[in-house]
Chain A
Amino acid sequence: MIRLALALVTSAMLAAAPALAQNVLTIGVRSEAATLDPHWTQLSADLQVQEHIFEHLVDLDSASQPVPGLAVSWAPLSDTLWEFKLREGVTWHDGTPFTADDVIFSFDRLAAGIAGAPASPAFTLAKGGKVWTRVDDLTVHITTNGPYPTVAEDLAMVPIVARHAAEGVTPSVDFNSGKAAIGTGPFMFEEFSPGNRVSVVKNPGWWGGDPGWDRVVFRPVGQDAARLAALLNGDVDLIDYPPTVDLPQIEANPNFRVSTIPSDRLIYVILSYRHQEAYIKDAAGNTIFPNPIRDWRVRRAMSLGIDRAAIRDRIMGGASEPTRNIVPPGFFGYVDELQPDAYDPDEAKRLLAAAGYPDGFSITFQGPNDRYINDARIIEAIAQMWTRIGIRTEVDTMPRNIYFSELIRGAPETFPGFDMPKFSVALTGWGTVAGEATYTVSGTLETYNAATGGGNGNFGRYSNVYVDALSIRAKQTIDRDARLALLKEATRIGMEDYAYIPIHFQVNKWAMRAGLEHSPRTNERTLAWEVRRVQ
């Protein structure tokens, strides 16, 4: 009798459990969100969680093209004046109405600078010399200091926080406690527990309708194998970055499914152009003068010496797209003529000999070991390939927090404010977040200029006046066709010059339990309302 009762209770619990669990989505993420302050960092791991709570004037669709967010429409009134019309009837999570004051407050907060923030979007906001004014409760005007085409794309990077909740609070800390984490987004703050979980609950009053889940939990599982195990055990419903070696097994398993989209993230090798490079040495161990990388033939040899197909097939499990472009196919600025270099070690050796290095030289190839998909393994594979053509390559991989600070400002400044990168040859990635190439060209190919922000991602300090001229003109050209032509030309010149060596675009994958459907995004974010239950 007791046994029967127990059985009944158990089966009742079993029946009830899925009904309860169905409204909760648990996402296993590789990198955990370090803060809920949307103005604190620019890391995807932080942004994807913040975007559940906070929104932007302009949203990006799954292909990273701008669509209305908190602004319903925008248009240039002249070459230098843009008008943004705000959405009516939007309220903050605590019920306060959203108005232009909040927009102005958010922009002012960023422009004033946030003490201690490692990388706020203030930089994006400042581009083009934007000045913002409130016209009425639902209208904001933005003026720029010259023709500036990508105002909307920039504002898609600038989250809007609530004036009444965020004014005067301690940055980051008060957001993580929930005090200032009041947004307009589809989900509301529930818990922020570093190392353990971040959870959000449904915002019933969201202007976009029902986001589909009552509660969303982000659980950080850094180890690839452990994250996959969490999915296989049913601890989480969906994971980002499933380990590439396991993809065939997951895809073949009927209990799981995989979603796929080519990413906007270019993985490439930075080459440094100082006259002498600390990590480029001859057989005797002395740094070589002049730096061999300044010779085009050496750069081409390094590119021809990389077997991109082998990296795709042997390391990436097929999930990469070898390239010589800087934005993925279909993006504004993609150049058809630039096809990935075919592997040609013999030609590479010939080029090295012609450049005066018949016996090659030695380099240290640096990179992160926890940032990009299979980063350390790609670095090791390229080291093998380069060693074969005579460039003896030592590998030094490090955790990303060390790597990126060294990459950006690891060497002594040449003069104050002029950050110098540390590495000579390094692997890194660049995401074209706004779906178009203007800031990829400007960021990675233009000469570094701390004042204008040109070349802010040009860590090798490549400099080419032709590229600069085209890129700077493109940034001021409102007409799309004219801008496209300028961008393509700048890309073509830069890439034919081997400013840096593109390897591939990552292909993003997510793995989830059967019964879920996910529409993936080019920009790698995992957003709960893009995951749906299917029967």
Chain B
Amino acid sequence: MTGARLAAAHQARRRFLRGFLAVPSAAIALVVFVAMCTAALIAPWIAPQDPYDLTQVSIMDNLLPPGTEAWSGMTHWLGTDGQGRDMLSAMLYGLRISLLVGILSGLIALAIGTLVGLVAAFRGGWLDAVLMRIVDLQLSFPTILVALILLVILGRGVDKIIIALVVVQWAYFARTVRGVALVESARDYVEAARGLRLGAMRILFLHVLPNCLPTMLVIATIQMAQAISLEATLSFLGVGLPPTRPSLGLLIANGFNFLQSGRWWISVLPGVVLLVLIVSVNVLGDRMREILNPHLRR
């Protein structure tokens, strides 16, 4: 019995993966995304330089074009930035921060948003009204403005930027999950479970939640891309991260000042990495929606 179930689950997973990869753009996006995650994960071992270690970074090596050999004997394949950081290393470490911030803030916001959405949908009544008005209030302010104000109050650091991103993102999850959960709660299987006098918690988490998962997965992916670009925007505006630990957004901001003097690599390279990252995550999210939503299945 269990063996058969496992096999069925395994087969379902393979079917999912095959469906996923049937579209070349999604396959490419997946490969790119996995490669980027791997690179970010093993950055300390593959980066030629630790850009956070100020003894390794020298101002004397600043603004070197790609492929230049510094007097320390190190070749900077992607050049150096205004402070003398090796661009390749800085981008690998920056990617780490961007992914960490995107994934972590996405997951926390997902957890909070899902809980709020489920409770609101299941309980209904005044609690639903109050929670959804809070969500409305949150959604009526521009995301970037709320995040900016929060960061000015909280100060600098990766933890602070994650808090700010969670605060601005949970409402999206709550709103969507509530919608899906409302639809699911009206379904017959929930009625049947209620008829069996199962506990509210049990119905909520074991019956309704699993059926909301596909939608949640899709928004989670899209919100992750959103979080990454939001972090980049905030860094570009000069709040969030300390200047000695640049994320991709901060690298772009630093390079912006050098664009007109022809030092394109400082801004353009991290820009391209950020672009590729966000596009690949978005393509993955889109493909996931196509597979998980039966209405869109061809």
Residues of A within 8 A of B (CB): 223-225, 228-229, 232, 243, 245-246, 248-249, 307, 310-311, 314-315, 369, 376-377, 379-381, 383-385, 387-388, 392-397, 399
Contact = CB atoms under 8 A, between A and B. Distances in A.
B235 to A, nearest CB: 13
B156 interface: yes
24 contacts: A223-B256, A225-B257, A225-B259, A243-B260, A245-B261, A248-B261, A249-B260, A314-B60, A314-B84, A315-B59, A369-B238, A369-B243, A379-B243, A380-B243, A380-B244, A381-B59, A381-B83, A384-B55, A384-B58, A385-B59, A393-B54, A394-B242, A394-B244, A396-B156
B33 interface: no
B48 interface: no
A314 B59 contact: yes
A232 B261 CA distance: 12
The 7 A-B residue pairs whose C-beta atoms are closest, nearest first, are: A387-B54, A381-B59, A384-B54, A245-B261, A246-B261, A395-B244, A314-B59
Nearest to A228: B260
A307 B61 CA distance: 14
A338 to B, nearest CB: 25
Contacts of B112: none
Contacts of A380: 83, 243-244
Contact of A243 (B55, B59, B242, B257): B257
Contacts of A381: 59, 83
B254 to A, nearest CB: 9
A233 to B, nearest CB: 11
Given A223-B256, A381-B83, A384-B58, 19 more contacts: A224-B257, A225-B259, A229-B260, A243-B260, A311-B59, A314-B59, A314-B60, A314-B84, A315-B82, A369-B243, A380-B243, A381-B59, A384-B55, A384-B57, A384-B83, A385-B59, A388-B55, A396-B242, A399-B238
Nearest to A243: B257
B185 interface: no
Contacts of A248: 261
Interface centre among B54, B57, B256 (most CB of A within 10 A): B54
A224 B62 CA distance: 19
Interface residues of B, number: 24
B261 A384 contact: no
B54 A388 contact: yes
A311 to B, nearest CB: 7
A434 to B, nearest CB: 33
B260 A397 contact: no
A393 B60 CA distance: 18
Nearest to A383: B54
Contacts of A232: 260
Interface centre among B256, B261, B262 (most CB of A within 10 A): B261
Grouping DSSP codes into helix (H, G, I), strand (E, B) and loop, the B interface class, with mixed when no group exceeds half, is loop
B151 to A, nearest CB: 12
B93 to A, nearest CB: 16
B263 interface: yes
B20 interface: no
Contacts of A246: 260-261
B258 interface: yes
A384 B59 contact: yes
Contact of A310 (B60, B257, B259, B260): B60
Contacts of A224: 257
Interface centre among A246, A384, A399 (most CB of B within 10 A): A384
Contacts of B259: 225
A245 B229 CA distance: 28
A380 B55 CA distance: 12
A392 B54 CA distance: 8
A480 to B, nearest CB: 42
Contacts of B63: 245, 314
Given A310-B59, A393-B54, A383 B257 contact: no
Contacts of A393: 54
Interface string B2-43: 000000000000000000000000000000000000000000
A245 B243 contact: no
A229 B259 CA distance: 11
B263 A245 contact: yes
Contacts of B55: 384, 387-388
A232 to B, nearest CB: 8
Given A387-B54, A387-B55, A395 B243 contact: yes
Contacts of B257: 224-225, 243, 245
Contacts of A385: 59
B203 to A, nearest CB: 50
Interface in B225-276: 238, 242-244, 256-263
Contacts of B256: 223, 225
B62 A314 contact: yes
Nearest to B58: A384
Nearest to A384: B54
Contacts of B258: 245
A225 B260 contact: yes
Nearest to B244: A395
Contacts of A314: 59-60, 62-63, 84
Nearest to B82: A377
A384 B58 CA distance: 7
Given A245-B258, A311-B59, A384-B57, A397 B83 contact: no
A124 to B, nearest CB: 32
Contacts of B244: 380, 383, 394-395
A380 B84 CA distance: 10
Given A225-B259, A314-B59, A395 B238 contact: no
Contact of A249 (B54, B242, B261): B261
Contacts of A394: 242, 244
Nearest to A364: B242
Contacts of B58: 384
Nearest to A226: B256
A399 to B, nearest CB: 7
B57 A395 contact: no
Interface string B54-89: 110111101100000000000000000011100000
